[in-house]
A and B are shown apart, each in its own frame.
Chain A
Amino acid sequence: MATTERKPILLDFEKPLAELEARISQIRELADDNDVDVSVEIRELEARTVQLRQEIFSNLSPLQRLQVARHPRRPSTLDYIQAISDEWMELHGDRLGFDDPAIVGGVARLAGRPVVMLGHQKGRDTKDNITRNFGMASPGGYRKALRLMEHADRFGMPIISFIDTPAAYPGLEAEQFGQGEAIAYNLREMFRFEVPIICSVIGEGGSGGALGIGVGDRLLMFEHSVYSVAPPEACAAILWRDASKAPQAAEALKITAADLRQLGILDEVLVEPIGGAHADPLAAADTLKSAILRHLEDVNRLTNQQRQELRYQKFRAIGVFAEASA
């Protein structure tokens, strides 16, 4: 987790907050130099900062949420796995010739129980991001995920998946090695597994690339995460013929957790620390862990057959249409 004191990366809508904070430290310095007691004023300003932060973060527009979801310091799959598991060992490779660093996974112990955890992995800095292809998985990544999930099913270990990708990688080799086939295969097989599957959107849910590890008994999502059928930028370019219309597209596509809960796609929206998950990664990890355990306990009460049936019915029921009697 982000432990060292690093300079915070500010999003544009956080500027009023940064200004307030700068003023507080300015006053403090002035007071120190001149030996004046300003604790009352400072307390007042600090209270205002907290209030303002709360206000800003409870009224984020879809595009602002997208910025929070893509925040470079937002906790990643590896951060959460390390934070919530008692112990874990990463496993590598799809056994078909590839080990895609954009998807990580392995065997772990969660609250004493063996599980398989996996998810998209974005880089923590530019160099890491290049290695991990910005969390955009290739067919080898989806096949690695499949191999790990098959492992979980064989050993009766629940599958815990973390979604955080802008999209499946749109590259020449990705197409050549069957990006579509790799995702499609996972969609079908995830209905077949007998073990519980809990999926959580921790950052960005980008289209088929997200769904490729996102079919489960439960779908959880952090409140500032987004999940979209197409990147708002691409949607704007196609439907508005103007990529600069991304804010309108983000609005229209209904990509926020609150919207998706309303459409009946999510099982639970996870509350984030004020200022977003990156403001307090350990608190976010605690929220995630307790939610996963709660849902796991729920679906564990069912028999394998009941679970498969309910998983099928969960997706079976998604869709909105009218039906005239023919």
Chain B
Amino acid sequence: MSLFDWFANRQKSGPISKERQEREIADGLWSKCEACGVLTYTKDLQANQMVCPDCGHHIRVYSDERIRQLIDPNTWLPTDTGLVATDPLKFRDRKTYSDRLRDMQEKTKLLDSVQTGVGRLDGLPVALGVMDFRFMGGSMGSVVGEKLTRLIERATRERLPVIIVCASGGARMQEGLLSLMQMAKISGALQRLQTAKLLYIPVLTHPTTGGVTASFAMLGDVILAEPKATIGFAGRRVVEQTLREKLPEDFQTAEYLLQHGFVDAIVPRTQLKPTLARLIRLHQPVAAASTLSVHLPEVRPLSITTSD
């Protein structure tokens, strides 16, 4: 085979090599940024918490990854892991809700769209809830409502700060009004947390909309958001249809909400953990208090055991 033939063959096999390249991306060795298209070695991207090192775009991450990013190694104790949705309405659209649940559970290896637990964040004991957008768009039904309510109740009992990472399209239609009522249920638990003077910080990630926005996402003592996250109550398309006009480009972005006074800060993911730790420490009694010779009761009992 002459060199010329080799080049000719290589050109012919062009599409195949492209396929091979795509397979490699699928294999996860390299990841392509959906905003700027730059390829990054996946391990480097993960080390940068899935924030594109080139353009700063925040690639969507899911609950397991989030927990890894926020909780100190070997301190995570998941709670209420056995809760699973039933199909109280026997709901059926183009597919039955039961089938949809089963498919989602197989695909995501999750039982529903939120993970809850307690653990340490930079050494600080916290109660953490993380929504997972992969599972039916992070929608909130009875399981999400119950798990978050139990988490908040536990935090109230054990005097822990609560952090909820939001990512949701809103209430889950397949559970009808039961889903809507979860908004009230969680808000009620937050009222008790507030009365107990405990800190609650929701972190709004892309996207946070509908019934989640109209309940626990907006009830934080301090509200943080990720850059460029879509945050709103009504969907953008619904608003456009109502008004029959184009909406401003930045409408319902984290930046728009900051400008209108509904979030406290936009925090890049790489800064999220230190920011949360700093905020929690800023709300704790002054360190000097513990050095006083007065006998003070332990304010934050260490009731967390490491898993395994």
Contact = CB atoms under 8 A, between A and B. Distances in A.
Contacts of A324: 82, 84
A172 B234 CA distance: 9
B88 interface: yes
Contacts of A326: 80-82
B82 A323 contact: yes
Interface in A214-259: 214-215, 227-230, 234-235, 238-241, 248-249, 252-255
Interface string A155-190: 000000000000011111011111111011101110
Contacts of A230: 171, 173
A254 B177 contact: yes
- Among A179, A265, A320, chain B packs the most CB atoms within 10 A around the CB of A320
Given A184-B216, A188-B188, A321-B142, A208 B180 contact: yes
Nearest to A136: B242
B180 A211 contact: yes
Contact of B88 (A180, A234, A315, A320): A320
A180 B149 contact: no
Interface in B205-231: 210-211, 213-219
Interface string B175-201: 111111111110111111011000000
> What is the interface residue range for chain B against chain A?
35 or more
A208 B173 contact: no
B251 interface: yes
B93 A240 contact: yes
Contacts of A322: 83-86
A212 to B, nearest CB: 8
A260 interface: yes
B43 interface: no
B12 interface: no
- Secondary structure call for the B interface: helix
B145 interface: yes
Contacts of A179: 214, 233-234
A178 B82 contact: no
A184 B219 contact: yes
A325 interface: yes
B178 A265 contact: yes
Nearest to B248: A172
B215 A187 contact: yes
B94 interface: yes
B176 A174 contact: no
- Among B184, B213, B217, chain A packs the most CB atoms within 10 A around the CB of B184
B278 to A, nearest CB: 24
Interface string B242-260: 1100010001100000001
Given A230-B173, A263-B88, A175 B146 contact: no
A244 to B, nearest CB: 14
Interface string B89-102: 10111100000000
A322 B82 CA distance: 8
A311 B188 CA distance: 9
Interface string A181-206: 10111011101100000000000000
Contact of B185 (A168, A170, A214, A316): A316
A318 B82 contact: no
B86 A229 contact: no
A179 B192 CA distance: 23
B208 to A, nearest CB: 9
A208 B211 contact: yes
A64 interface: no
B191 A192 contact: yes
Contact of B252 (A175, A188, A229, A234): A175
A112 interface: no
A319 interface: yes
B270 to A, nearest CB: 27
Contact of B218 (A171, A180, A192, A215): A180
A185 B214 CA distance: 8
19 contacts: A175-B232, A175-B234, A175-B239, A177-B260, A178-B260, A179-B233, A179-B234, A180-B217, A189-B191, A208-B210, A227-B177, A229-B180, A234-B238, A252-B89, A252-B91, A253-B91, A311-B188, A319-B146, A321-B86
Query: Which 7 A-B pairs give the minimum distances between C-beta atoms?
Result: A170-B234, A180-B213, A319-B142, A187-B187, A180-B233, A324-B82, A320-B88
